[in-house]
A and B are shown apart, each in its own frame.
Chain A
């Protein structure tokens, strides 16, 4: 079945890089996503990666995918206090399909 696991908490200093890790079980996943949730807000899509890609860069965000190990990571360069939030990894089989979420990683950025 589908399952997504994440580490629960990460604390970094402002200006450092943050790396949030995720593992998933469904090898037929087509797309993998990173969502951000700020307090009291909904889930905001940050970025996604197609399963035949190894890496995707989008400004300060870099997504790395190791399909063999079913491991996904999100690197945030030059982390700012405004990046403090919960980050969710999610997988899906393609459009119209449900998202399966991890439990979320709380990112705390210390100034």
Chain B
């Protein structure tokens, strides 16, 4: 069964460093997303990406964050200068296009735990 994969599973970085979190969405999916979950808090939407551009972003997704689909398979989240409060589990998700406005399923990866020290 196709699945979303994420690497690395755990990333430790020092404050102020840049990190890139990588995701391989399901191959025929067209919508891509990043969410994060700070320990003990809700899963929060960060950004959605469609047709090679950001379609929606949250207030959390400030200038420190960027996303890219550098090739036909990878979808990356970059944090330019990490802060302590960026420590969280980051989930990538992808979904297919449903014609007729039907329901869509966002398939989630297992997450990357980012620890900023």
Q: How far is the CB of B76 from chain A (nearest CB, A)?
A: 17
Per the 8 Å Cβ criterion, residues 9-65 of B in contact with A are 31, 33, 35, 41-45, 48, 50, 55-56, 58
Chain A neighbourhood of B95, CB < 8 A = 95-96
- A35-B106 Cα distance, complex, nearest whole Å: 10
- A97-B98 Cα distance, complex, nearest whole Å: 12
Interface residues on B, range: 20 to 34
A31 touches B56 (CB 8 A): no
User: Are A88 and B43 also in contact (CB < 8 A) when A45-B107, A95-B101, A99-B106 are?
Assistant: yes
Chain B neighbourhood of A82, CB < 8 A = none
Q: Using a CB–CB distance below 8 Å, which chain B residues touch chain A? A: 4, 31, 33, 35, 41-45, 48, 50, 55-56, 58, 91, 93, 95, 97-98, 101-111
